[in-house]
Amino acid sequence: MRRNLNLFVPWLFWGTACAVAMWFVPGRETVPYHLGYAGLAVAFGLDVWSTRRAYATLAVYTVITGVILLMRAADGHIHWAQTTEIPFMTLLLGLMIWHVGHRDAALRLNREMAERDREQVARRERLVRLTSHEMRTPLTIMAGYVDLLRSTETGPVLNDLDVVREEIDRLDRACDRLLRMIRFHDDLPQHQVDLDRLMQDIVDRWSNVASREWQVTSSAGVVDTHEERVKVCVDTLVENAVRYTEEGDTIRVFARREGSSVALGVADSGSGFSPAQVEAFNGPQDLVADASSNQDPRARTGLGLSLVREIVESRQGRLEAGVAPEGGALVTLALPVAGRAPVAGRAPVRTDPPRSGAAAEPTEPALR
């Protein structure tokens, strides 16, 4: 990359010195002659000159040194054939200036286009954020009025209100997903995060939304990571688990240490993945959405898992799918982290323990 190094004045001294040397060393003019052109090429290649200045400098240096060479040829100090270097060197340096000028123009155009793209992305994100937040207020008001009407109505009207309330909930979840997609790309600082507490908070929030047998098994301790991104990733996995389970099914959120990495994810007792879906999910990134959406009306767009995989792999992690011990889907993301391990003797956090007489909860298989 060319920078504004202010090499024009130093080159003027260099070019003048080369021209003076040509005058005072008759018969050996070609050495300082070529050194002057070499200095011009280096200075223009490293510094930011306008093409007009470059061509003017080349013309002046060509005239001065060309006159000296012609005088030396007329005096017999050099052969006339050596004067052919005058047009050749001028043409060579002229082509270099032309090429560098076109390259700089292309780089400026690319920078301008990249800046416009960044501005457009920023405007789109601001618009999406504003739209999502603006939708929240009327949705909350609508939900309140519908709930009030549901508490007083009966019969067919109540069924209609139930449909309206369900659609309001769907719009509210769509707003959540929209904001979640934006947060995937937010530039967030790392700090100490208690993953055990975070997993519990996630389950506490979702347990008020979906009637499932919620469980937490977390023994990851405190790590240096992006809390918001971890929350967004796990929320996306939990949302998928809710979609593929029914009332009474089990959804378990887990986190554990695996050497210098932490493995966290969601397991459920729902319909799970087919072998083809597992193979596609654990394959190339462009197959993740297909693995979730092909011939599956509940999969929606499948973009959630693709975004989770994108954010995990951008941090040298990995996302894998398998069969959960509960019989449904198991989605695990592994992230390299640094931080304090859980305190010795501290029991993993969990909610909704197995009922009396139930078998002990199995653990997840190790990541491949």
The CA-atom distances, in angstroms, between 264 and each of 52, 75, 309, 329, 336 are: 61, 87, 13, 14, 11
The torsion angles phi and psi of 25, rounded to 5 degrees, stand at -125, 70
In this predicted structure, the answer to whether residue 297 has a pLDDT above a threshold of 70 is no
- Examine residue 249 and state whether it is found in any structural domain, yes or no: yes
**Domain endpoint, select from 124, 154, 183:** 183
Q: In terms of pTM, does the model score above 0.95?
A: no
Rounded distance between C-alpha atoms, residue 203 and residue 201, angstroms: 5
Q: Do 51 and 176 have their domain in common? A: yes
**Structural domain contains residue 352:** no
- Are residues 152 and 236 located together in one domain of the fold? no
> Which CATH number fits the domain that encloses residue 289?
3.30.565.10
Predicted confidence at residue 345, as pLDDT, reads 40
Query: Does the pLDDT at position 336 exceed 60?
Result: yes
159, 183, 207 - which closes a domain: 183
Same domain, 168 and 195: no
Q: Who contacts 183 (Cβ-Cβ below 8 Å, separation ≥6)?
A: 228, 229, 232
Are both 163 and 298 inside the same structural domain?
Answer: no
Q: 94: alpha, beta or left, given left = phi > 0 and alpha = psi -120 to 50?
A: alpha
- Answer yes or no: is pLDDT of 99 > 50: yes
Q: Tell me: do 311 and 193 sit in the same domain.
A: yes
Residue 100 pLDDT > 80: yes
C-alpha span between 131 and 275 (Å, rounded) = 40
Dump pLDDT digits (tens) for 244-294: 899 889 999 999 988 888 999 999 998 888 888 888 878 765 444 444 444
pLDDT (tens digit per residue) in 338-360: 655 554 444 444 444 433 333 33
181 burial (CB, 10 Å; 0-12 / 13-18 / 19+) is middle
- List CB contacts of 175: < 8 A, sequence separation 6 or more: 132, 135, 136, 139
pLDDT at residue 214 in the model:
94
Question: Is 275 part of any domain?
Answer: yes
Report the C-alpha gap between 89 and 87 in whole angstroms.
Answer: 6
Within-domain flag for 353: no
**Low-confidence winner among 26-40, 117-131, 239-253, 305-319 (lowest mean pLDDT):** 117-131
Q: How far apart are CA 84 and CA 94, in angstroms?
A: 16
Q: What is the CA radius of gyration of the chain?
A: 35
Quote the domain boundaries for residue 93: 1-183
Is residue 212 included in any domain, yes or no? yes
Same structural domain for residues 284 and 155?
Answer: no
Beta-carbon contacts of residue 214 (< 8 Å; ≥ 6 apart): 203, 206, 207, 250, 251, 252, 253, 351, 352
How confident is the model at residue 363, as a pLDDT?
Answer: 39
Number of domains in the chain: 2
Query: pLDDT of 163-196, one tens digit each?
Result: 888 888 878 777 776 666 666 555 556 778 899 9
Residues 71 and 215 reside in one and the same domain? no
Judged against a pLDDT cut of 70, whether residue 138 lies above it is answered with yes
Together in a domain, 204 and 164: no
Classify residue 363: in a domain, yes or no.
no
Q: How far is CA 320 from the centre of its chain?
A: 20
Cα separation, 317 vs 295, in Å, equals 29
Note whether 65 and 196 are same-domain residues: no
Q: Say if 154 falls within a structural domain.
A: yes
Same domain, 196 and 263: yes
Q: Are residues 196 and 107 in the same domain?
A: no
Residue 165 lies in a domain: yes
pLDDT recorded at residue 361: 38
CA distance 12 to 7: 9
Higher pLDDT, 215 or 178: 215
Pairing of strands 261-268, 329-336: antiparallel
Same domain, 224 and 299: yes
Question: Is 70 exceeded by the pLDDT of residue 238?
Answer: yes
Q: Which of 135, 164, 183 lies at the terminal end of a domain, its last residue?
A: 183
